[in-house]
Amino acid sequence: MKQDKLKRRPRGLFLPAGTPTIDWTHPLTAGLQGCWVATGAGGATPVILDLVSQNVATLFGAGTGAVIAAGPAGMEARSNAQSGTAQGWTATPSSGQQPATAFSILFFGRPLGSAFGGTRTAWIGCESSSGNIMDWAFTRPATNANLRTYFNLSGVEGSVLWGAAYSNSTGPFYSFLTSVSTGGPAYLYRNGLFFASSTVSAGTITYSSPKIIIGCETTGGTPGNSAMCVGAMWNRQLTPAESLQISGDPTGFLTFPGDDDLEEMFGGQYTRRGPFLINW
């Protein structure tokens, strides 16, 4: 019997239990600058943790519309307050989270009912305080089932509208991977499949007192009405092959407490935790 390395099976649209860590040996972590997960840490007030910087996002806004709770698949950050109330989470971006010409964004989670009336409700993004401009963001505009990818080119906010990108309901989970290369293409991949592409004007993404935002725009925006399990950003445009892989297996570059743990393997004897796949 041939002994070989134990390999983790792709999880697909499934969120294992526990707070993950990043597997920096995974090739898809190249250029990864932020990875935000909802965790049960923080005692009575669970938090959103950036696995790259280990920084915690800060809750903002009045009311109770922005919460972290256990969802159908695990911990999720929900932003579903009333229209006109800005509530969500914010953090100070690192220099790596301020790319100049290209970026990719992952959103793994689910919509929560109908969209509100706002047009710039960020599921995840970076916002410049000066002018309230989305520097880079993946958002849910007012029209149900549509999504937008935003970018700030030299102080001028642009976007790509992705029409009919999902089913407007509270049930299905979606894994979206959107990417932009200024002066080149913009893509959207959904659940392991190509969805659409567009062309973006040339220019440099600029920032003015920026902040990471999760849940909605911090000034004057309405909630994104979503539940995010994992959000991530890269300071490069992922290739089509990488985008297909990430959108179909959004936690593939993460390691969870219950993942495969091959402690020993002698003569076919092994100790493990979780599902496994052995290549013979």
**Tens-place pLDDT, residues 45-55:** 778 999 999 99
The predicted structure's pLDDT at residue 155: 87
The predicted structure's pLDDT at residue 132: 74
Span 177-199, pLDDT tens digits: 999 999 999 999 999 999 999 99
| C-alpha to C-alpha distance for 98 and 125, rounded to whole angstroms | 11
The predicted structure's pLDDT at residue 110: 83
Q: Find where tokens 């407007």 sit.
A: 168
Burial class (CB in 10 A: 0-12, 13-18, 19+), 127: buried
The predicted structure's pLDDT at residue 140: 79
Residue numbers of the chain with a pLDDT score lower than 70: 1-9, 41-44, 62-65, 80-86, 113-122, 130-131, 142-144, 168-171, 217-224, 260-280
The predicted structure's pLDDT at residue 17: 82
The predicted structure's pLDDT at residue 60: 79
pTM for this predicted structure: 0.87
With b meaning 16 or more CB within 10 Å and e meaning fewer, what string describes 222-256?
A: bbbbbbbbbbbbbbbbbeeebbbbbbbbbbebbbb
The predicted structure's pLDDT at residue 221: 56
The predicted structure's pLDDT at residue 104: 98
The predicted structure's pLDDT at residue 273: 40
Q: Are 89 and 45 in contact (CB under 8 A)?
A: no
Both structure tokens of 115: 């969209």
